[in-house]
Amino acid sequence: MAITLTNPAGLPEIDVYRQVSVATGSKLVFVAGQVAWGADGVTVGEGDLAAQVEQCYVNVATALAGVGASFDDVAKLNVHVVDWTPDKMPLLLEGISRASARLGATPVPPATLLGVAALDVSEHLVEVEVTAVID
């Protein structure tokens, strides 16, 4: 595994991600932002933030697997949520939890959560992008 995740002393420990990742692999993997499309291109969970978060994470895992990687190789994760407000956090965490259960892994790389005005199509509520490192 090319990624070591850590919470350095002096920074808060956050349950859903680590503050720092150290990459030692030799290949960078950039995954395009994944939205809540199923393999057929139809939006999964229209109007349901938790369901869309789950699908985004599953899509990221599928993209990573396609190049021989997994969430264990993710150095950085960015989440973009339409019209973000802090009261949406339980739905975001529910979606991550459901994806973790489906994938058998809990993704905890350093993460950035960004509120955005809109995404590619109006029914998409969230987009997840990652950068991974593999040997």
Torsion over CA: 95, 101, 103, 106 (sign): positive
Mean residue pLDDT of the chain comes to 95
pLDDT of residue 109: 93
What six digits make up the tokens of 23?
């990459």
**What percent of the chain is predicted at pLDDT more than 90?**
87
Is 126 a residue whose pLDDT tops 80?
yes
Average of per-residue pLDDT across 28-46: 97
Overall number of domains in the chain: 1
pTM: 0.92
Give pLDDT tens digits for 38-48.
999 999 999 99
Domain ranges, residue 120: 3-134
DSSP result, 89-102: HHHHHHHHHHHHHH
Contact in structure between 31 and 132 (CB atoms under 8 Å):
yes
Rounded to whole angstroms, the Cα distance separating 48 from 42 reads 14
pLDDT of residue 1: 66
DSSP 37: B
Average of per-residue pLDDT across 54-71: 96
Contact in structure between 109 and 17 (CB atoms under 8 Å):
yes
What is the CATH number for 104? 3.30.1330.40
Give pLDDT tens digits for 64-91.
999 999 999 999 999 999 999 999 999 9
